[in-house]
Chain A
Amino acid sequence: MANWIGSDQKLPQGRLILVSYVVVLEVILLLIGFWKLQIIQSGHFADLAEKNRIRTIPIIAPRGKMLDRYGRVIVDNYPSFSILLLRDDPAQIKRDLPQITSGLDITAQDLEQQLTEARDEPKFQPIVVKPEASDADLAFVESHRADLPELELMMVQRRKYPPDDFLAHVIGYVGEVSPEQLAQSGGDRYKPGDIVGKAGLERQYNDILTGTDGMRRIIVNSVGKPVRTLDDTEPIPGKPIQLTIDLDMQRVVEEEMAGKVGAMIAMNPQNGEILAMVSRPAFDPNDFAVRISRKEWVDLNDNPNKPLLNRAIQAQLAPGSVFKILESVAMLESGTPPPDFHVFCPGYGMFYGQIRHDWEPKGHGEVDLHKAIVHSCDIFFYNVGMRLGIDKLSYYASSLGLGKLTGIDLPSEEPGLVPSEDWEERVYHHKWYPGSTISLAIGQGPIEVTPIQLVRSISGIAMGGVFYQPHLLKDFSPVKTVHFPISEKTVEEVTDGMYGVVNEDGGTGHLLGYPILAQAKLQNVQFCGKTGTAQTISAKGLLRLTASERHSFGYNTWFVGFAPKQNPEIAIVVLVQDTHLEAGGVAAPLAARFIKAYFEKKYGQPIQELEAMASPAKSGSQSQASDAAPAARNQ
């Protein structure tokens, strides 16, 4: 036997008792630990346990519809499924990546990029890997519930926009909320992946259109597999908005502007309601309704014709001869020069040491205000401008609504610019050149207006100085009204002139405008208007270009008008950009055809413009352009 044996060894009983104390202490300490978790913090952990087992899947509230002024649906929704990728288990996603990408027909590169971008988002936030699932995609997800539990379906309501770019700029489009918007909202209003209005009315009235998402709470196990549904909170759909747009009139302007670059706006001068608004070229908002591909987005942005630009409110261009109407008002209202002012127009004139030409080389002979408006005589208005001076011109132009926002209920309206002596000194640090006043007198030089400004301005003049805030929402309130009283006599004189433009022999809008109305037996509709043509580049700039480059610069042709002459109920502005027809003759017939369609509808006649659209043969009313003030080539 080894030497460890020996009952003589006394046991260290005292130390053994100490050991038992240690054991008791151990159990007490552990119990305190459990007490802390289970009694003191039990509420906190119960919450966490609930979050663990309950997954909330949003039930997306449909956005409100957009209706036209008669309640006809313009923008609707349709249900569709999105495929979500739950990111709780990165290892599993990595493993399943090839299966997912091939099954859903997406590129591994795209998916990996998405995952990288979402890296900083909370893990429980799923990402949308396929915004609009096809039937095959749905079948794939359903059949792989067991082995690809990280894929989940979510029903969403998608925007259904009219086809063919119809009303695209007015409607705008929706998209996933941007990181900036998320940061701004402070996390309460939006969550990542929310769909919000990004442009146009979708953005302007996003708060009305957006509903409150509902949610479905499901119990999931630790690998995220749904066990059962706990409850549903129904979504509250967004509210519809009724627009001032008249679908019929919109169809007319869409058709008229097809294939052109420019814009057209029809407005009720008596209240500012926009009946139709188009900007071309346009884009298809449906491309945005799902998820616009990077390529499409780049194409839209790189397109030299800028299809995303809403020219109706964002094109800032020289108004050309249309400005002569405002100048006429300035002249009559200020009495400088006096109302009976008249000049002899030989086709050219000398102003501040520089020879200026009229658009009509032969000249217009003896010209008073009426004839000057009807024939768009440059020499007459050079003289008027010179006598008014920059201060008065600038004052009246601004007072009549140019160079500032109209306040239309669309985002991103541009203000344009009315120059003044102050402005010249502030920007260019030199005194105003009197010669610039002469250019301004025919709507050239550093003046920039938007189509919406022009239509509001002309409407206000026709209304005797009451300028309504243009708007697209039927219930828009309050409609801001600016009063800049214009005497009845002034209105009479100016509108007479504008009536002459369309209806008198030799009027710049006559050859095209009048026959169209005459043909429609609407001679009794007193259609008034004014043409305008502006070069898209300055004369000096033109000289620097080669012949072929020169050819690529065309004219911006304008037409503004209203009808009837007294108590006008419809005002129209037409802008056709970069046309090589050197005449407002491009724009005037478009306006006339619109006015014709408007009154045809009003008097219950068939709208020929729309019938022509329906038939394959297009209406043949596009006759040759006439003159219509190819002004200011000498600028």
Chain B
Amino acid sequence: MREQGHSFELDWWLLFIVMIICVVGLLEIYSSTHNSPLHGMQWKQLIWIGIGFAGMLVLSRIDYGALLDQSLLLYLLSLGALAVALVVGNKHFGARRWIEIWGVDLQVSELVKLIIIIVLARYFSEVRTERLTLADLVKIGLLVGVPAGLILLQPDLGTAMVLVPVAIAGAFLAGIDWKHAAGVLALGAVVAVAGWNGHVLKPYQKQRLATFLNPENSPRGAGYQILQSEIAVGSGGFWGTGFSKGSQNQLGFVPVRYSDFILAALAEEQGFFGVLITLLLYLALLLRLIDNAQKAKDRAGMYLVIGVAAIFAFQVLVNAGMVIGYMPVTGIPLPFMSYGGSSTIFGFLALGLVMNVRTKRFVN
């Protein structure tokens, strides 16, 4: 094996794909906002991308082994931060998700996503059996459940849900008894029903889920966003209305068109063709991540990369699904495209983890 010392190697292909996605996002943010009081947003997003990129470079140089060693500390820190956010956090849009750091509101839960990836990678890598035992599943459930519960209290159903696929993907790779898998599924169903009937879900969350099932029922109520999003997407046709020429986008009918619904804005202006390119970019991103996982030096590295891939894949699925009315409105952003500081920084930090793993693959 080649000895590369402390040098590190960036995955240029991965970066290239991500940068194209970022540029597409910046253009669409510009198109969506330049005619409105929000104009100039693309520059803010560019700054977030810059910060994220720097964070990625830093994280890619920290030995992921060290991170895994500190996973317990990181985990407790994240629980503490979530608790602090709940008690003293700044309230936006009715949810306590933000902690102010250096005058900038940061969404704590985005950081928690990163830590959960690390914590679960550590846990899965220590499993020595062919299949996960029931005890393993319970522990994993607790590891994910506690922070997820705290995030749910904010309340932020979407981000809480994002933690779950990390565990599922990891469990799949670690090996799971199909009976256990069925059991987990059944338990999930029970929790979902109990959550619906009990007081776990906030009324607005129930409302969103209910409208998701039947959006036409309340055109100006909660189903409005889904319907408007579908209208924008559907009216785009194959080639779209053209850059910054989408009436629904430009006249503001598309809800949060620069962030959560940016794919709807893109779908209207760039049509199915633009959506095809964009989704293929995400496919390339995900496959490249899996490729990195396959080439990881060890299982821990693989779990880290797959955790990142699981979160991105889940976010793409839920966000794009939401835009076309197949998923409820949960406020999950599209990675690297939706405007947003916390989510953009998370995306790049997650990439940093991946680069880190990649760098290490030739070590030893």
Contact = CB atoms under 8 A, between A and B. Distances in A.
B300 interface: yes
Contact of B253 (A3, A11, A36, A52): A52
B258 interface: no
A44 B236 CA distance: 11
A26 interface: yes
Interface in A11-25: 11-13, 15-16, 18-20, 22-24
Interface in B320-342: 320-321, 324-326
A614 interface: no
Contact of A15 (B173, B220, B231, B313): B173
B169 A24 contact: no
A427 interface: no
A38 B275 contact: yes
Given A35-B272, A49-B247, A53-B248, A5 B298 contact: yes
B302 A34 contact: no
B100 interface: no
Interface in B284-325: 286-287, 290, 293-294, 296-300, 302, 306, 309, 313, 316-317, 320-321, 324-325
Contact of A39 (B238, B298, B302, B326): B238
A38 B173 contact: no
B68 A2 contact: yes
B111 interface: no
B230 A11 contact: no
B205 to A, nearest CB: 20
Contacts of A220: 251
Contacts of A227: 251
A547 interface: no
A353 interface: no
A20 B251 CA distance: 39
A45 B68 contact: no
Contacts of B125: 4, 9
Contacts of B296: 11
Interface residues of B, number: 58
Contacts of A37: 230, 233-234, 267, 324-325
Contacts of A30: 279, 316-317, 320-321, 324
A103 interface: no
B173 A52 contact: no
Q: Is the interface of A mostly helix, strand, loop or mixed?
A: helix
A19 B236 CA distance: 32
Contacts of B282: 27
A292 interface: no
B149 interface: no
A179 interface: no
Contacts of B68: 2, 4
Interface residues of A, number: 49
B272 A48 contact: no
A38 B287 CA distance: 26
B252 interface: yes
A6 interface: yes
Interface string B57-68: 000000001001
Given A45-B230, A48-B235, A52-B231, A24 B253 contact: no
Contact of B172 (A5, A15, A88): A15
Contacts of A2: 68-69, 122, 126
Interface-centre pick from B169, B235, B290, B306 (highest chain A CB count, 10 A) = B235
A53 B321 contact: no
Contacts of B271: 38
A26 B316 contact: yes
B191 interface: no
B235 A222 contact: no
B206 to A, nearest CB: 20
Contact of A31 (B230, B251, B279): B279
Interface in B227-261: 228, 230-238, 247-248, 251-253
B38 interface: no
Contact of B317 (A15, A26, A88): A26
Contacts of B248: 49, 52-53
A271 B75 CA distance: 103
Given A39-B272, A45-B235, A88 B220 contact: yes
B7 interface: no
A1 B125 CA distance: 14
A41 interface: yes
Contacts of B298: 4-7, 9
A227 B125 CA distance: 60
B280 interface: yes
A19 B126 contact: no
B254 to A, nearest CB: 8
A11 to B, nearest CB: 5
Nearest to A40: B234
B219 interface: yes
Nearest to B276: A31
Contacts of B317: 26, 30
Contact of A42 (B65, B234, B294): B234
A227 B36 CA distance: 13
Interface in A47-81: 48-49, 52-53
B236 A27 contact: no
Nearest to A26: B317
B364 interface: yes
B219 A123 contact: yes
Interface string B113-137: 0000000001001100000000000
Contact of A27 (B219, B232, B280): B280
Contacts of B297: 7
A42 B235 contact: yes
B47 interface: no
Contacts of A88: 220
Contacts of B324: 30, 33-34, 36-37
Given A26-B316, A30-B320, A46-B237, A19 B253 contact: no
B76 interface: no
Contacts of B275: 31, 34, 38
9 contacts: A16-B290, A23-B287, A27-B280, A37-B325, A45-B230, A52-B231, A52-B248, A221-B253, A222-B228
Interface of A: 1-7, 9, 11-13, 15-16, 18-20, 22-24, 26-27, 30-31, 33-39, 41-42, 44-46, 48-49, 52-53, 88-90, 123, 219-223, 227
Given A4-B68, A19-B309, A44-B234, 11 more contacts: A3-B126, A11-B302, A12-B175, A16-B293, A23-B287, A34-B324, A42-B235, A46-B234, A46-B235, A49-B232, A221-B252
What 6 pairs between A and B have smallest CB-CB spacing? Answer: A45-B234, A222-B252, A49-B235, A4-B125, A38-B272, A221-B251
